[in-house]
Amino acid sequence: MKINRLKFILQAAIAAFGAYFCMYAFRKPFTVATFSDIQFWGIDYKILLVIAQVIGYTLSKFLGIKWIAEMPNSKRFLYLISFITFAEFALLGFALVPAPYNILCLFLNGLPLGMIWGIVFSYLEGRKTTEILGVILCSSFIVSSGVVKSVGKFVMDTWGFNAFWMPFIVGALFVFPLLIFAYLLEQLPKPSLEDEQLRSKRAPLNKHERFLLYREFAIPLTLIIIFYVFVTGVRDFRDNFAREIWDSLGYVDSITVYSFSEIPIAISVLLLMIVIGSIKKNKKAFAIYHWVLFFGGVLIALATFLFYTNTINAVWWMMSTGFGMYACYIPFQGLFYDRMIATFKIQGNVGFLIYISDAFGYLGSVCILLYKNFGEKNSSYIHFFSYLILMVSVLAIVVAMLSFFFFKNKQKITAQSKHIIYES
């Protein structure tokens, strides 16, 4: 039994990590190019490209609230391959269509990619091992973003492709690996009876059921969404403008810094989430996620203070704030909601909760980009990033406390209701 479970974990981890890792090859490589000195309509061309892709990605998240929540398992593989194929053809359009008209191509590129997370996570949710697999999946986008940027810079510097063809070339390199990982995902067995008993059975949610679920937990979910708007926007800004931030910190010629700085973050967060995942009691694990959010906010503030007082160097600052930010961000990619569903025995799936958070989260990303261009145009990337990360720190601490006390009170009310029913 243990051998079979280990075999399943290994296959699921490789398949999920690999599939989402490859997705980033179709989304992020263009951000390693600076597109310096190009502007249209008074806005930096790169900011326009990022906004266009994020708008497509955001729209995808709003569509996912319905599509992913209602998606039948039999259609997952078809959706995954179709969405990636569409995204790659959009990158071909980006290479062929002259600027600024090719901005539309990045909007089309982002439009299907926002669905990929929900599809991949649907293979993993509702299992005894969901937490371990979920955090391995989450670690993929911490590592992959840096790796595909390094690949993109290599394609430009060594193979000689320009910034417009590079994203398509990088995507083409990852098409075949993606097909292999998608096939491995499709071979995973359904959740067992033991899985369903431990984490509750997962089922599609129709419109009315989604409304009832949100209404019941409206206060903490609204607080979490507000926080998620900021943390997603800051994470996306750090990701999309990593080249500019590292250049400002003195790492202009480094190809490896994008990967080197992110791998320790991924490993550290992975270990933290695995520890939480080993906790069998759902209520305890659910409470611990609030503490992770709280201390993640504290770490961000502390690291930024130490950096600006010259106590730690730039690399340690980026890694420390990155760890704190991802410790706050990753649980809301499904792990937090998976424990919430199990704790309160909710009949449904995490797809709806993930996508309602993501939909508003990426709206925050667009707003931050527009504010940077029009409100803080002369502000350096380091100064602007520092300001954003401190806002995330404060919100993480406040939201962690408020959400913790709400859910604790909700558990008491639920327990009392069951006791009354039992006594009657």
Give me the pLDDT at residue 80, please: 92
Place of tokens 């051998």: 3
Q: How confident is the model at residue 329 (pLDDT cuts 50, 70, 90)?
A: confident
Give me the pLDDT at residue 419, please: 44
Report, as an integer, the average pLDDT of 272-290: 86
In single-letter form, the type of residue at position 102 comes to N
Rounded distance between C-alpha atoms, residue 321 and residue 269, angstroms: 12
Judged by average pLDDT, the poorest of 82-86, 128-132, 303-307, 384-388 is 128-132
Given a contact cutoff of 8 angstroms between Cβ atoms, the answer to whether 172 and 159 are in contact is: no
> By C-alpha distance, which of 137, 145, 172, 51 is closest to 331?
137
Rounded distance between C-alpha atoms, residue 295 and residue 323, angstroms: 11
Given a contact cutoff of 8 angstroms between Cβ atoms, the answer to whether 366 and 232 are in contact is: no
* Whole-Å CA distances, 166 to 91, 114, 148, 181: 9, 21, 11, 23
Judged by average pLDDT, the poorest of 76-90, 102-116, 146-160, 328-342 is 328-342
Give me the pLDDT at residue 414, please: 67
Give me the pLDDT at residue 423, please: 40
Judged by average pLDDT, the poorest of 247-261, 274-288, 304-318, 336-350 is 247-261
Give me the pLDDT at residue 422, please: 36
Rounded distance between C-alpha atoms, residue 36 and residue 333, angstroms: 33
Report, as an integer, the average pLDDT of 88-101: 94
Q: How many Cα neighbours within 13 Å face the side chain of 88?
A: 18
Whether the per-residue pLDDT at 61 is higher than 50: the answer is yes
- Considering the chain, what is the average pLDDT of its residues? 83
Give me the pLDDT at residue 259, please: 64
Give me the pLDDT at residue 395, please: 94
In single-letter form, the type of residue at position 97 comes to V
Residues of the chain with pLDDT > 70: what percent?
91
Phi, psi of 203 (to 5 degrees): -145, 155
Q: How confident is the model at residue 362 (pLDDT cuts 50, 70, 90)?
A: confident
Give me the pLDDT at residue 160, please: 87
Angle at CA of residue 380, ends 304 and 144, nearest 5°: 70
Phi/psi-derived region of residue 35, left when phi > 0, alpha when psi is between -120 and 50, beta in every other case: left
Domains of the chain by range and CATH? 2-30+37-423 (1.20.1250.20)
Burial zone of 331 (CB within 10 Å; 0-12 exposed, 13-18 middle, 19+ buried): buried
Give 21-47 pLDDT, tens digit per residue: 899 899 988 888 878 778 788 778 888
Whether the per-residue pLDDT at 130 is higher than 70: the answer is yes
Q: Report the run of H or E that residue 44 belongs to, with start and end.
A: strand 43-44
Give 240-261 pLDDT, tens digit per residue: 777 777 777 776 666 666 667 7
Whether the per-residue pLDDT at 385 is higher than 60: the answer is yes
Q: How confident is the model at residue 417 (pLDDT cuts 50, 70, 90)?
A: low
Q: How confident is the model at residue 95 (pLDDT cuts 50, 70, 90)?
A: very high
Give 65-86 pLDDT, tens digit per residue: 777 777 777 888 999 999 999 9
Give me the pLDDT at residue 396, please: 94
Judged by average pLDDT, the poorest of 115-119, 183-187, 394-398 is 115-119
Q: How many Cα neighbours within 13 Å face the side chain of 268?
A: 16
Residues of the chain with pLDDT > 90: what percent?
27
Report, as an integer, the average pLDDT of 192-217: 72
Strand partners, 44: 39
Whether the per-residue pLDDT at 421 is higher than 60: the answer is no
